[in-house]
Structure 1
Amino acid sequence: MNPKSRRLFILVIAALISAIVFTQSHSHLESLYTSQPSLSSLGWKAQTKFAYATFLGGSTSKDDSQTDPEHLKDPYFISVRLLNYQIKHAEKTRTRLSNAPFLVLVLPSVPRSQLDVLKQEGATIVRVEALDLPDAFDKDFIKSSRFRDVLSKLRLWQLTAYDKILYLDADSYLLENLDGIFTDPILSTPQKTLPPNRTDNKKLGQSVQPPDTYLMAASADTYGDQTEWEQPGHINYLCACFMLITPSQELFNYYMNILTGPEAPQRAVYPEQDLLIYVHREEGQMPWRRISIKWSANDGDMVDELREQGGVKSLHVKGWEGGEGGNVAGEKWKAKWRELVGEMEGFYKGRGSLGKNFRDDGRIPVY
């Protein structure tokens, strides 16, 4: 090989080595920024569609129409606005997933004024019809409580345009980004429906059977000091306040079949939650997976207690004054909620006008 050819050969080899080193270095850098497994490794197709969602029923504001004619002071409505702001716009908590909308399931009783604001601020409105309460439920209690509408949350399973939905109750707010839960290898992998056990044999003749696969991961329902509920052996109850699900018309039909049949939970007072607790009981065909409190806690004190373990990413607490029922925030986390609401208002005010650059994409079906 003459000198000229040798130099050319050396240059080619050097270029190849550089390309290999660059590729390996680039791959290493990508791994540093990719903390979650790939979708394909979890059995999800490349174009998997994710969505965040919540539910908004009729106004719960105690203000009459004269003091709040537009129904814009309702605390649940404000909290839904805050969730939308945090998921769609706030730098610290907004989703980094491409085309992952924030869906707000709304009943016909939701005031038009609230819908207009939510659309302007970038939420995707999903209009749904209410579901009838089964005769087995405690209708007298439910109809006079704030749980009168929540059975309609089951409409989530009809949104089959999406592969996975992370649902948060309206009385929640974020402390960190939640995107990682969609590809968490433990929580997000599809589950196989188990064969019926002996106690289920008598039900084999029912007209609607459960689907072959499903996904039901949820936080645990707690009250009081949540640290007690973290002790080994403590009973856990599925909480319909924070759920990672796969929509399925087949599973929706199964839920409806249970509600209208002899298996409907008797004297239930938490409509959708009592149904889901029954269908996804640990000894049943479709047991649920528990989502750790690092993703969602019902007790603000857990944020500080778990700080060394990575903290808590969201709180299911009522941050406003006068909150009723369980999971009412302490003063520290009420102040945090007010701070975030103020941040949200400042963000929209800074844009010059609400919703100037946002719109409802109109692709969500109406049920």
Structure 2
Amino acid sequence: MTSPAPATPSPSKYAFATILTGEGDVESSLEDPYFMAARLLTYQLLHSPDTRSADDIPLLVLVTENIPQEQRTVLAQDGATVVPVESITRGWVHPKWERWGGVLAKLNTWNMTEYDKIAFVDADSMLFKPIDGIFTDPSTAIQQTNPSHSSKGNEEGKKEEELPSTYLIAGIHDSWVEHNLPPTPGEGTDFYVKDNYMNAGFLILAPSEKMFEYYLRLLDQPSAFDPNYPEQNLLNCAHRVDGRMPWKDIGRKWNKKGAGLSDYEDGLKSVHQKWWVAMGNEVLDGYVANITAEMKTFFANRD
């Protein structure tokens, strides 16, 4: 009697994600630049022959309560998976700019445990090349949580034991913050230091309900971190490089906050920049014009 063939392991489940929180202030919601940015990201990740995923990786667009139905309908027609999420607020969290009032809703991404890894890309981003490879890049391997140094039995030790045993959060350095915002003792800014600060506009993460609960516990501690950059500073507080769950640097090829022609020519794969504002270079501005025109033609022909 022959033994049954071993079961084939199921493939890893990956997803891209972005979020809309109603930052726009234009009269028509379909003309809102962040909505248009989400459409462009959808086109680039799912449809463009130059940048789309080779493995049919889905794009999740998280939408908070105030996102109008017409935007949701269009994005779903474009091929995105529209995911309604609840806003997350705390009375002590006041962002530097009003338009960041809903950014903590980004934390809902950690509850999407049907996926093994999610690459979160802020809507105001643009791709130059495919970014599928980020999921298997060595910098995005699942990490073991570092051992606790707290004595078992005390309250701090109990909190430490509530951390997940494994985790993943990887991204890029925010060099502007590291060079321009020095830490101030007693103000929850001790992570504003060189080689420690991560930008939250391009993240690779492993969803985990336990991690989400940990983030909420931090939010329930008033002044635990500087709330000027709400979700970004929360993540830097939770994943400081000298902590138990340090974030990992993915290097410079995947994404950059703002880019010039030399970055583009050197093979940069994506840029985090409000591309609807002129980038100041004929080649880059030409790329923006071409890809947006390509998107509009593609969706117009589909309709």
Please, what TM-score do these two structures have when normalized by structure 2?
A: 0.85
Percent of pairs identical after alignment? 38
How far did residue 131 of structure 1 move? Answer: 0.5
Q: Which amino acid aligns with 1:283?
A: D
Is the counterpart of residue 218 in structure 1 residue 171 in structure 2? yes
Is contact 1:54–1:105 with CA below 8 Å preserved after alignment? Answer: yes
Separation of aligned partners in 1, 2:164 and 2:142: 12
Q: 1:239 maps to what in 2?
A: 199
Q: 2:18 maps to what in 1?
A: 54
Task: Describe the shift of the 1:134–1:205 C-alpha distance in structure 2 as closer, same or farther (beyond 3 A).
Answer: farther
Is the counterpart of residue 196 in structure 1 residue 148 in structure 2? yes
Q: 1:89 maps to what in 2?
A: 47
Separation of aligned partners in 2, 1:88 and 1:279: 32
**Uncovered stretches (5+) of structure 2, i.e. residues with no partner:** 1-8, 180-192
Q: 1:182 maps to what in 2?
A: 135
How far did residue 349 of structure 1 move? Answer: 1.9
Q: 1:15 maps to what in 2?
A: none
Q: Pick from 296, 299, 302: which aligns with 1:345?
A: 296
Is contact 1:300–1:330 with CA below 8 Å preserved after alignment? Answer: no
Is contact 2:170–2:204 with CA below 8 Å preserved after alignment? Answer: yes
Q: Which has the larger radius of gyration?
A: 1
Q: Which amino acid aligns with 2:172?
A: S
Matches within 5 A, 1:1-367: 46-61=10-25, 63-64=26-27, 68=28, 71-98=29-56, 100-135=57-92, 137=93, 139=94, 141-142=95-96, 145-184=98-137, 186-197=138-149, 203-206=156-159, 209-223=162-176, 234-261=194-221, 264-265=224-225, 267-301=226-260, 303-305=261-263, 307-308=265-266, 311-321=267-277, 329-332=279-282, 333-351=284-302, 353=303
| 2:31 partner SS | coil
Task: Describe the shift of the 1:152–1:199 C-alpha distance in structure 2 as closer, same or farther (beyond 3 A).
Answer: farther
Separation of aligned partners in 1, 2:150 and 2:242: 11
Q: Which amino acid aligns with 2:146?
A: L
How far did residue 194 of structure 1 move? Answer: 0.5
Is contact 1:131–1:151 with CA below 8 Å preserved after alignment? Answer: yes
How far did residue 306 of structure 1 move? Answer: 6.9
C-alpha distance after superposition, 1:181-205 (max 9, x if no partner):
1111x22211000122469987224
C-alpha distance after superposition, 1:120-164 (max 9, x if no partner):
1101000001001252x3x2x55x521100001000000001000
Aligned residues: 279
**Uncovered stretches (5+) of structure 1, i.e. residues with no partner:** 1-44, 227-232, 322-327, 354-367
Q: Which amino acid aligns with 1:173?
A: M
Separation of aligned partners in 2, 1:87 and 1:148: 27
Runs of 4+ that moved beyond 4 A: 198-202
Task: Describe the shift of the 1:126–1:97 C-alpha distance in structure 2 as closer, same or farther (beyond 3 A).
Answer: same
Task: Describe the shift of the 1:169–1:192 C-alpha distance in structure 2 as closer, same or farther (beyond 3 A).
Answer: same
